Amino acid sequence: MKVGFIGLGNLGSAIAKRLEMMGEELIVWNRTVQKAKEKGFENLAKSPKELIQTCDTVFICLFDSNGVRDVLTMEDGLLSANLQGKTIVDLTTNHFKDVLDFHEMVTETGGKYLESPVFGSVVPASKGEVTVVASGVEEVFLTCKPLLEKFASNIFHLPEPSNASKMKLINNLCLGSFMVTIAECTALGEACLIDKKDLLEILGVGGGKSLVLAAKTAKLIEEDFSPHFSNAAINKDLHCLQDLAYSLQRPLYSASVTKELFSKAKMEGLGEEDFSSVYKLFK
């Protein structure tokens, strides 16, 4: 069975390659054909429409909801095809309101839509160790689960549409807050003339012990900020989180400071660097 894939950014490429490694016959569509070929993908569709006509299941992994909406509605987009018997699995971190539109748009045209944001970045995706939280009809979720298991080690189902997207935004508040605190602790320790490697090792068995520190220790020591999850991406997610809080008429406290620090990093030209480079703001 051929599987389609749209979105060959850092995370999308890692997931697509993992699916291939796990034996799936993958066909991809990317706006820039050369970019797809440079990343090692040779089996290319000419349009999203052609892709979903060829494949029963198509994954989407894009930067934001604007990208998803475009791929759905563009000329020769996914919605221009006959979607009877077709399933779209959307791995994008969407705006919690926009994703409701996507559920409706796909089902109205006869297709099935599973909202499935990914928790994790490039390295765990390549190892099949990310987490996926899905929302949508249980039958669709159960049908797609064997494919999700090829790149995700933890899979949850929150049936109500939009809840998976809301959960992802809440998760990324933890992610961003931990990263900002670790970055500030690192810079403060260096100002005290504590060796950075020693500092991070001690934090790793002390109050800083976390998945975030474990994942980003090497980046902080080597100051290699090639992107696994970019400042631009987490900045976008925290803006969506702010919209969520506003819709609930709830204040955000730690999230507000965290969001503004990543906004500052983006403004300083660090948007395409890994979000661990927020450390530079504290140096």
| pLDDT of amino acid 7 | 97
Which residues of the chain are under the pLDDT cut of 50? Answer: none
| pLDDT of amino acid 1 | 81
| pLDDT of amino acid 142 | 98
What distance in Å separates the CA atoms of residue 237 and residue 93, rounded to the nearest whole number? 7
Bridge partner residues of 25 (DSSP): 2
Please check whether residue 261 is in contact with residue 230, taking contact to mean a CB–CB distance below 8 angstroms: no
Annotated domain spans of the chain? 2-159, 165-282
**Number of helical H runs and strand E runs in the chain:** 12, 8
Residue 276 makes CB contacts below 8 A (sequence gap 6+) with 179, 183, 216, 219, 220, 225
Q: What does CATH list as the number for 2-159? A: 3.40.50.720
Bridge partner residues of 130 (DSSP): 152
- Which of these, 31, 20, 81, lies nearest to 56 by C-alpha position? 81
| pLDDT of amino acid 145 | 98
Q: What is the pTM of this model?
A: 0.96
Q: Give the Cα-Cα-Cα angle 160, 164, 170 (nearest 5 degrees).
A: 125
| pLDDT of amino acid 106 | 98
Q: Which residues of 48-58 are buried (b: 16+ CB within 10 A; e: fewer)?
A: bbbbbbebebb
Please check whether residue 88 is in contact with residue 78, taking contact to mean a CB–CB distance below 8 angstroms: yes
What distance in Å separates the CA atoms of residue 169 and residue 163, rounded to the nearest whole number? 10
CATH superfamily membership of 165-282: N-(1-d-carboxylethyl)-l-norvaline Dehydrogenase; domain 2 (1.10.1040.10)
